[in-house]
Structure 1
Amino acid sequence: MPLARPGRRLLTCAAMTAASLGLSAQSEPATKKSSESDAIVMSTFEVSTERDVGYFSAETTAGTRTSKPLVELPGTVSIINEAMIKDLKIDRLADALNYGTAGVTSLDIIQDDFSIRGYRESNRFRDGVSQSGFFNNQLYDIERIEVLKGPVALSFGSGTILGGAVNMIAKAPSATPVREVDVSIGGNSFVRGTVNVSDALTDDKNVRYRVTAGAQNDDRWKEMERDNNIFFGSGVDFDFGNSTVSLYGYHYETDSYIYFNDFLTSQTPAAGILEFNDNSTESFSTARGKDVYYDSTDDYFKASMATQLNDDLSFKVLYRYQGLKDRRRIIRGISLDADGYTLNRQDIPFAIDGDTSTVQADLNYLLNFAGMTHDITVGVDYTHSFSRQGLVVLPVDPIDTRNPDFSSDDNLPMGDAIPAFTSDNANYSDVTSYYVSDYLSFFEDKLTLVGGIRWVDVITSRKNRINGDITREETPTQSAPRYGAVYQPTKNTSVYLVHSETVASSNGLNQRGELLPDSVGEMDEIGIKAFDIKLLGGQLFSSVAYFDMAKTNVRVILPDIDPQTGFSIITTTTGDTSKGFEFELGYRAEVGPGQVDLIATHYNAETRNADGLRVPFAPDDVSSLLLKYSWSEGALDGLAIGLGGYFESTKLASTSQTLILDYGNTYDAFVNYSWNDWRFSLNLNNMSDNRYVARYAAPGLIQGSEPRTVRLNVGYSW
């Protein structure tokens, strides 16, 4: 008789715990400091940066739960490392993906919402665990960003993702002293400061800490907008013989308002590229700043232990908690009268709460047998989450956008006078998954066969907090396989092919809280990789991939507004496919008194629905180029200049085949100068001040692009 789900879960956890306890006495210290080199030996679950070169990183844990060189993985992983983040002075996650990764586009500036290989993926991860939040993730304590293309079930435990996932990696405590302060200033009263301190607390460096604090004030360019936040994070690593225990956490608060604050030329948009109304300028606002807010509080705690049981066996267990409280009041345009200037508005008080607890356990074993090596990993994930969303849509007087008069907004209900929510739902879910994967290498490790599968059990329930109705659903066990092969003619080059799938899972709820149909996805990919190849006096880094992806019941947002909720209608299409190729190419060489760093990306694919028509938000072509020259000797020693260009082809603004978004070209530049312990930089983003419609929801509800920004940064280390 098959075990019931709770029995299977307990058996899996018990087996892994017994293995870790029973074998711990056989171990050699894996995370212990070497007395001769004063270096920390890395755990198999940690990434080493020793082989990183400039903008190019060698290792990742994104392809599996253990650290592996990129060239050994059957699939595409792009890494935005600390060198690029510092040069471009990247503050937000969405701004980090223009360069260094192909086929990833940001859908809006309100929150982290991406299109990856043509599929909308609003999930993002932190240290390999799903990260909730309806805001732009700040990078105060982030060291690198990894983008894994294709299904990610084996790596991150999320079986529903097809396009790919974005994973933020936090800075680890350092065994050597790090003391840094950075201050940036810019237009619209922009001030941002970060302090990062890290060191060993003991002479043997077995206890290490990191403290990061940051704050930002940004009044932006529209009267009603602001982007203010504070951050405090810390981490401690403890080495106990063969084990390392890590405790990380942060507290983040925003006091902000960033939303759709522009509108179109008419109440019925004409076919073609969407354009701003003459009255929808960079300074236009749909309300007063004092009447709106978009505030969040995010608390995060992670505890983990990694143990090297012996030379071939390692174990890791992790617990992560995230608590989210989000309160906002949105006053937005929605439709335009026939006169072309009277904007009808909505007032929407909003509440979001969330709590998520996650446990992960992973066991890795290296088995050498008959000239072959098995790199076997098994693990289990369990996540319990609660989320609540409530809102009410209130009437608010229209405005004449030629000369806005907001005096009637003095009568808006405030505080306890705000009517009760008309939509208020709480969702609970318990997701248990377990997996096994094997990297089987032979022919002196030149050929590797890869196979793995994750099984997923989901129990969900939903409570209507207005009428008390409760619904509960327990889905049958779903599975997501992944298999492929990697051939390495040399240590730094490889050819691979891979097939991977998603689980058959629900698309969630529509705008009225009704279940959407299940969705299934799969991907075939073939590619070539090269890392640190000596060529023409320099070093070459490249990745080229062809992919063929398909997904049924794709979740889409229609341009129509649901009169009952006031939000865009959410539904599903029959299915989408995405076929094409992408490449990422880097080069570094000594030239004259310094060196050149170049990184270029290109993506070309057709994402089409079942009828062969284009799908929303999916451009066919995306390209980027970042070029940097650094002086390392002579009078200009310490100076670096960089120039970047980003191009995105047109894409559909909605399911309508006639409404087009045209991003065009944007250009960025930077100048850095280092002198002793000081660092100075000037960064210019969107130098040509290209203004375009970035997102469309309704004729009176669109989002404009970010204008040109100029910022000066000063940093000091001691």
Structure 2
Amino acid sequence: MVLQNSRRRFFDTSRPLSMAARVQIACWCLASAGFGAPSPVCAQSTQLVKSYAIGAGKLSLILAAFAAKSGISLAYDPALVKDKYSPGLSGNHAVADALAVLLSGTGLEAIAKAEGGYILRTRSLQQPAPYPVARAAPVIAWDDSVLMEMTVFPGPDGSVDRGFVATNSSSASRTNTLLSELPQSVQVVTQELMTNQQSQSVLDALHDVSGVNIYNIGVDTSVYIRGFLAPTRINGLQQGPSRIDSAASPLHTPLAAIERIDVVKGADSIVANGDMEPGGLVNIITKQPQAEPVRQLTLESGTQGHQRIALDLTGALSDDNVWTHRVILSGSQDSDAIDRYDSARDVYFAPSLGYRHDGTIAVAGLNYQRNLLPIGGKGPYGQITDGLQSTSIGGSYDVQQKFDGNWGVQSKGNYMRTQLSARSYYCVQSASPDDGAMPRSCQTRAQASTSYGWNLENNVHGTFHTGPVKHTVLAGVAVNYSWFAVPLAEIGPAVPATLSRDSLPEIPSTKLTPYEPASELYYTNWFLQDQLGWRRWHLLANIGYTRAWSHSADLQTAAVTSLHPQSKPIYNIGLSYQLTDNVTLYANRQKSFVLQAQASGIRYDDGPPGLYNLPPTDGKSLEAGVKLNLLDERLMLTASVFRIEHAKVLYAYAYDANNNEFTALLPATTNRGAEFDLSGSPLPGWNLTASYSYNNFRYAQPPGFYVQPSLISRHQASFWSSYDLQSAAWRGWGYGVGASARSGYPSNSGNMQIGGQVSVDANIRYASKLWSLTLGARNLFNRHLYGSFANLDQGIGFEPGRVFVLTGRYNF
């Protein structure tokens, strides 16, 4: 006999009922009879049945994969799962049944927590049942006596982070893949690491990743990976018009809105959806609505004028957890906004709504950000409100639909409009050193511009087998449109002033000309990918085809020009081999490009003045390495060697009588190097991350030209170690200490040498269930530190001296 309703088959009485189905019926009967069934049991046991295909393996990895697939949270002491194996899972299962199968033979059981999710513990001797029942946990099951409890909860992209360690990522392949199976170096800055280090911005969080250098002079904010400019993505997409307007860059996203940051190494224009130099890219994963409730208030204050407040609210909107929400509110202020500090003032608001039901996952959100950025990273400024005011309004969506047979589709996109308004002074620099008290000539400047853009990506993905080979395929298209108005500026009369802010009068408001002319870019990127798995071998192969069109205006003459569409095919390939359960070898060859266009006439390759459809640049990267899972997956190590080159970059070397530039293409700029990354928890209470990078970076050498020396240090290293005291008397207390160092390098102006340096950070903290307090010191020994890419042309940037920061968090 089969009982059905109008929508689906409910259960088949001819077959034995699963334990989850029995609990579901019991809950329904109790509710119908007017009795109050235990809410955690009924809520979690009535979850929809899902299809799983998880192979046998180490229990810790299997649980991480199950949490990502099922969308639940798991909490457990890592010692419980050490040296245990799971038989895996296949077929359709409810969560309780699935956990029972995964834990069979391990001596463990899953207990439903009152606040949602499950906790693992050793199975009681009084419970002979082979499949444990999900039930409400007693208070002691979630007690502080668990000193090193590991919580596994899937991120918005299906990724799972444990402390400082991430086990998987979708940034390099668009599919949620174990990092150990990716034939590529991918480093992840987890949310716990950012919190533990008291990071204050995206740039701050990236500061200690191997091969990463930061360029931050006000709004002109950039990240370099392995010596090359790296694009930044947010949830796998560009943000609005960020391709042509750095004010819209995701690098300005406050940390309160960020779940994790993935740093993908190597050339990959397919994942970047077009232009990128061959060093790598940064993908920022934002927080998404979730059923697991979070109500957290963060207050932070530091010396040198740093203040921050943030509010994070998320949880279920319906009893069945189908509808969820999240609201992020953040505000910050930094009086001395240089280098590692991202902005002077910032206000951010981002509400979002989530839906998860019957194979459909959908998220839609809005975001508003208003910040004040220093112009050029150096003063002086007339009043405290002078600088670059940026206001951005946007929205985003992500819809995924799963079908039977392990196939699905995804569509995601975003839109952003950004308006800039600047009021500043430009002052003649003094020829002799002084404290800023000497009068000099200063001119007022006013500037304004606007930009907007949208990004869209659609794909279809699925898995199938050809004999013993498993294929995970993905095909899709991404489209980007960006529009940017030529900045308009007005320069006022010169006034004598000192470098004191009080000596400069307020800059008057002005009426600027409407936003014309403008620059437009339109990109389309088609891609096809296959991940093949056979025994211990994993192959990642993809091909892409990008087509771009541009319409722009000359900044000097305002003459409008258009270029014919440009196109570029590309392919990448990578191979990994699992030598043992804990050792994986990998190698890859990847390519990238930058489509080049100019807005005014040039003389290219000794031709006449005019417009040219220039060939795209040619980026290549070769990488080989090893990935180690140590101490039962509690410690992850990646070591790699690489060779990168970027060729055919346009450069100008002379002018003709009509001021037209003679241009040609550069030979290859190269970098050869090695990297080492380590992260994990070697001992109970101890979390560690460390990195080292060696770079032999060489600029291209055009004939007859002196080329600037590398601004990349040859040696860079960093570590951060955090320890939570384990004794009962000191429970809740912890501390962290770390250092970052780099060797010196020559400046590109004159014969100056930028010296090597070492910076030490430390903090001490106390945490309870409801609140935590951390007191940290940045640059503990008050060393004089240079910013990355310091050179005389741009002004040698300095990082702050000793800074104390106090961070408090309250969960209500």
TM-score by length of 2: 0.72
Greater share of strand residues, 1 or 2? 1
Equivalent position of 2:731 in the other structure: 637
Equivalent position of 2:467 in the other structure: 370
| CA distance in 1: counterparts of 2:410 and 2:426, whole angstroms | 47
* 1:474-623 pair list within 5 angstroms: 474-503=564-593, 505-506=595-596, 518-531=616-629, 533-534=630-631, 539-554=634-649, 574-590=667-683, 594-611=684-701, 615-623=709-717
* 1:258-277 pair list within 5 angstroms: 259-261=376-378
CA contact (8 A) 2:631 2:682 kept: no
Q: 1:238 to 1:524 in 2, by over 3 A?
A: same
CA contact (8 A) 1:31 1:42 kept: no
Equivalent position of 1:106 in the other structure: 214
Q: Are 1:687 and 2:774 matched, yes or no?
A: no
Q: 1:466 to 1:610 in 2, by over 3 A?
A: closer
Q: How far off its partner does 1:55 sit?
A: 0.5
Q: How far off its partner does 1:303 sit?
A: 1.2
Q: In the alignment, residue 530 of structure 1 is paired with which amino acid?
A: L
2:362 to 220, 229, 245: 245
Q: How far off its partner does 1:478 sit?
A: 0.4
CA contact (8 A) 1:32 1:242 kept: no
Which range is displaced more, 54-63 or 692-701? 692-701
Q: 1:289 to 1:32 in 2, by over 3 A?
A: closer
Q: In the alignment, residue 524 of structure 2 is paired with which amino acid?
A: T
CA contact (8 A) 1:31 1:242 kept: no
CA contact (8 A) 2:554 2:599 kept: no
Deviations 1:209-266 (A, max 9, x none): 11111112333389xx9812211112211124221111122111113436432xxxxx
CA contact (8 A) 1:248 1:301 kept: yes
Equivalent position of 1:312 in the other structure: 406
Equivalent position of 2:307 in the other structure: 191
| CA distance in 1: counterparts of 2:482 and 2:611, whole angstroms | 19
| CA distance in 2: counterparts of 1:323 and 1:430, whole angstroms | 16
Q: In the alignment, residue 232 of structure 1 is paired with which amino acid?
A: F
* 1:392-407 pair list within 5 angstroms: 392=489, 394=491, 397=494, 407=503
Q: In the alignment, residue 547 of structure 1 is paired with which amino acid?
A: F
Give the unaligned 5+ runs of structure 2. Answer: 1-49, 53-68, 73-93, 100-115, 119-151, 603-609, 654-658
1:47 to 150, 155, 158: 158
Q: In the alignment, residue 461 of structure 2 is paired with which amino acid?
A: N
Q: In the alignment, residue 703 of structure 1 is paired with which amino acid?
A: G
Structure exhibiting the larger radius of gyration computed from Cα positions: 2
SS in 2 for 1:140: helix
Q: How far off its partner does 1:189 sit?
A: 4.4
Q: How far off its partner does 1:660 sit?
A: 3.5
Equivalent position of 2:224 in the other structure: 115
CA contact (8 A) 1:335 1:698 kept: no
SS in 1 for 2:203: helix
| CA distance in 1: counterparts of 2:441 and 2:669, whole angstroms | 35
Q: In the alignment, residue 227 of structure 1 is paired with which amino acid?
A: A
| CA distance in 1: counterparts of 2:598 and 2:465, whole angstroms | 44
SS in 2 for 1:108: strand
Q: Are 1:168 and 2:274 matched, yes or no?
A: no
Equivalent position of 1:354 in the other structure: 451
CA contact (8 A) 1:366 1:376 kept: yes
Q: How far off its partner does 1:109 sit?
A: 4.6
Equivalent position of 2:509 in the other structure: 415
1:58 to 144, 167, 185: 167
CA contact (8 A) 2:583 2:626 kept: yes
Q: In the alignment, residue 468 of structure 2 is paired with which amino acid?
A: G
| CA distance in 1: counterparts of 2:637 and 2:425, whole angstroms | 47
Q: 1:676 to 1:708 in 2, by over 3 A?
A: same
Equivalent position of 1:207 in the other structure: 323
Q: Which has the higher contact order (CA 8 A, sep 6+)?
A: 1
Q: How far off its partner does 1:470 sit?
A: 1.7
CA contact (8 A) 1:140 1:231 kept: no
| CA distance in 2: counterparts of 1:557 and 1:603, whole angstroms | 33
Which range is displaced more, 503-512 or 597-606? 503-512
SS in 2 for 1:130: coil
| CA distance in 2: counterparts of 1:218 and 1:618, whole angstroms | 28
CA contact (8 A) 1:333 1:701 kept: no
Q: How far off its partner does 1:31 sit?
A: 6.9
SS in 2 for 1:154: coil
CA contact (8 A) 2:361 2:400 kept: yes
Q: In the alignment, residue 549 of structure 2 is paired with which amino acid?
A: I
Equivalent position of 2:745 in the other structure: 651
Q: Are 1:627 and 2:736 matched, yes or no?
A: no
| CA distance in 1: counterparts of 2:186 and 2:784, whole angstroms | 31
| CA distance in 2: counterparts of 1:195 and 1:580, whole angstroms | 42
1:235 to 352, 357, 360: 352
Q: 1:373 to 1:472 in 2, by over 3 A?
A: same
SS in 2 for 1:96: helix
Q: Are 1:140 and 2:140 matched, yes or no?
A: no
Equivalent position of 1:84 in the other structure: 193
Equivalent position of 1:94 in the other structure: 203
Equivalent position of 1:181 in the other structure: 297
Q: 1:659 to 1:298 in 2, by over 3 A?
A: farther
Q: In the alignment, residue 357 of structure 1 is paired with which amino acid?
A: W
Q: How far off its partner does 1:623 sit?
A: 0.6
Q: 1:368 to 1:213 in 2, by over 3 A?
A: same
| CA distance in 2: counterparts of 1:438 and 1:44, whole angstroms | 24
| CA distance in 2: counterparts of 1:78 and 1:114, whole angstroms | 15
2:768 to 643, 653, 675: 675
Which range is displaced more, 72-81 or 185-194? 185-194
Which range is displaced more, 460-469 or 35-44? 35-44
Equivalent position of 1:300 in the other structure: 394
Q: How far off its partner does 1:352 sit?
A: 3.1
SS in 2 for 1:427: strand
Q: 1:149 to 1:352 in 2, by over 3 A?
A: farther
Q: In the alignment, residue 581 of structure 1 is paired with which amino acid?
A: A
Q: How far off its partner does 1:668 sit?
A: 1.1
Deviations 1:435-493 (A, max 9, x none): 11111222x2x112221111000011013588653211133320121012111123443
| CA distance in 1: counterparts of 2:773 and 2:805, whole angstroms | 11
Q: Figure out how many residues of one structure are paired with residues of the other and give that number.
A: 640
TM-score by length of 1: 0.81
Q: In the alignment, residue 548 of structure 1 is paired with which amino acid?
A: R
| CA distance in 2: counterparts of 1:339 and 1:626, whole angstroms | 38
| CA distance in 2: counterparts of 1:674 and 1:319, whole angstroms | 38
| CA distance in 2: counterparts of 1:700 and 1:502, whole angstroms | 28
Q: 1:467 to 1:399 in 2, by over 3 A?
A: closer
Q: In the alignment, residue 249 of structure 1 is paired with which amino acid?
A: L
Q: How far off its partner does 1:98 sit?
A: 2.1
Q: 1:226 to 1:365 in 2, by over 3 A?
A: closer
Which range is displaced more, 571-580 or 316-325? 571-580
CA contact (8 A) 2:447 2:490 kept: no
Q: Are 1:255 and 2:372 matched, yes or no?
A: yes
Q: How far off its partner does 1:48 sit?
A: 3.1
| CA distance in 2: counterparts of 1:556 and 1:657, whole angstroms | 21
SS in 2 for 1:95: helix
CA contact (8 A) 2:347 2:370 kept: yes
| CA distance in 2: counterparts of 1:700 and 1:716, whole angstroms | 42
CA contact (8 A) 1:345 1:395 kept: no
| CA distance in 1: counterparts of 2:196 and 2:764, whole angstroms | 8
CA contact (8 A) 2:721 2:738 kept: yes
SS in 2 for 1:83: helix
Once the two structures are aligned, what percentage of the paired residues are identical?
Answer: 18
CA contact (8 A) 1:178 1:198 kept: yes
